[in-house]
Structure 1
Amino acid sequence: MELQPLATFRVELAPVLHVGRTRWGDRRVIGIVGGSFSGPRLNGEVLPGGADWQVVHEDGSASIDTRYTLRTHDGALLYIQTQGVRHGPPEVMARLAAGEDVDPAEYYFRLFIRFETGSPDYAWLGRTLAVGTGRREPNAVVYDAFTLT
């Protein structure tokens, strides 16, 4: 198995909506307001809409669950879903929560990525698993995506 670079995604985010503590943890909804992606196999824009339906657990780790829509450079629409985890030392996670710029080497942020589309040109994405490594910026998430071959 090998990793093949797909694209770098920059997903711009709305302010965090705190739903509150549920039986799963601290539920947060973070709307997606736009962005872009570019790489050797995929280029285009992140469309407004969708969100990260995130849970922050007692140990400070976050379960990531996003769903949103992409438009490729040639007009195809892609549905994307990511699921992952972000964790690190409490002081690092506190700095992230405060909106500070934190070196991604100080915390762990990994994703599974799935795609759906009706476009014949991008049908291969629906038959491909992808993974990513991410970093959180004050108003965006940036992640490098790779297909598993």
Structure 2
Amino acid sequence: MPDRDAPLPDRRTLLLAGLAAASPALAGPALAAEQPAPLTDLPLVMPRMEFVYEAVVEIAPLVPLGESPLGERRIVPITGGRFQGPRLRGTVLPGGADRQLVRKDGVRRLDALYEMKTEDGAILTVRNRVTIDPGRDGAPDYRFSTIDVTAPEGPHAWLNRLVLVGTLASLRPAQEAVLVRAFRLA
């Protein structure tokens, strides 16, 4: 039975406990440091993610475009592929491309624009902006993206109302392709 006379924890303590539960890696010394007071009394609600689709995007060899003041520019043609998820599936159409900038600090910024055709014939336009930070000091690579999908009116119009985030993984050397996984923020 809880002690009714015990003081209730303050909002900061509850927030930090929730953060520690959601991300144990942050529960160390970073949480022990004094944190600023919250700006409002609104509860902190962490977004959830729901899987939308994964795509195997086939690619051609990289084409260097030369150095710029911001870093090395290059392009990777998209030659095809396939995608599927709980509510859609189809093929990645050839003709798109992934424009890349390798910054002076080693971070790669990718901006891919391509089309996917669903089984029922709808054409989806996908813009996938990826940040890749190579792991340093034994840390894994950071490979996350924001994905915009534009769908025609009809059965796939629900895609126009989503905020999508994604992951990217190379399928080399087994296949000249990358794996894109898209998740809806909910």
TM norm structure 2 = 0.69
**Residue 132 (structure 1) aligns with:** 166
Residue by residue over 1:42-74, the C-alpha shift from the partner in whole angstroms, topping out at 9 and shown as x without a partner, is: 211100011011100111110010100000111
Gaps of 5+ in 1: 93-104
Looking at structure 2, the residues matched to 90 and 15 of structure 1 have their Cα atoms a distance apart, in angstroms, of: 26
Residue by residue over 1:13-62, the C-alpha shift from the partner in whole angstroms, topping out at 9 and shown as x without a partner, is: 01100001112210010000000111212211100011011100111110
1:16 aligns with 2:62: yes
Give the counterpart letter for 1:77 in structure 2: I
| 1:60 alignment partner, SS class | coil
Looking at structure 2, the residues matched to 110 and 143 of structure 1 have their Cα atoms a distance apart, in angstroms, of: 10
Q: Which has the greater radius of gyration? A: 2
Q: How many residues align?
A: 137
Deviation at 1:109, TM superposition (A): 0.9
Given candidates 46, 59, 64, the residue that maps to 2:92 is 46
TM norm structure 1 = 0.85
Deviation at 1:90, TM superposition (A): 6.8
| 2:99 alignment partner, SS class | strand
Deviation at 1:107, TM superposition (A): 1.4
What is the percent sequence identity of the aligned residues? 36
Give the counterpart letter for 2:121 in structure 1: G
In the alignment, is the contact (CA less than 8 A) between 1:84 and 1:111 conserved in 2?
yes
**Superposition RMSD on alpha carbons, in Å?**
1.8
Gaps of 5+ in 2: 1-46
In the alignment, is the contact (CA less than 8 A) between 1:76 and 1:119 conserved in 2?
no
In structure 2, the CA distance between the partners of 1:56 and 1:115, relative to structure 1 (3 Å rule), is: same
**Residue 4 (structure 2) aligns with:** none
**Residue 129 (structure 2) aligns with:** 83
Structure 1 moving runs of 4+ over 4 Å: none
More displaced 10-residue stretch of structure 1: 20-29 or 130-139: 130-139
**Residue 32 (structure 1) aligns with:** 78
**Residue 119 (structure 2) aligns with:** 73
Looking at structure 1, the residues matched to 159 and 61 of structure 2 have their Cα atoms a distance apart, in angstroms, of: 30
1:123 aligns with 2:157: yes
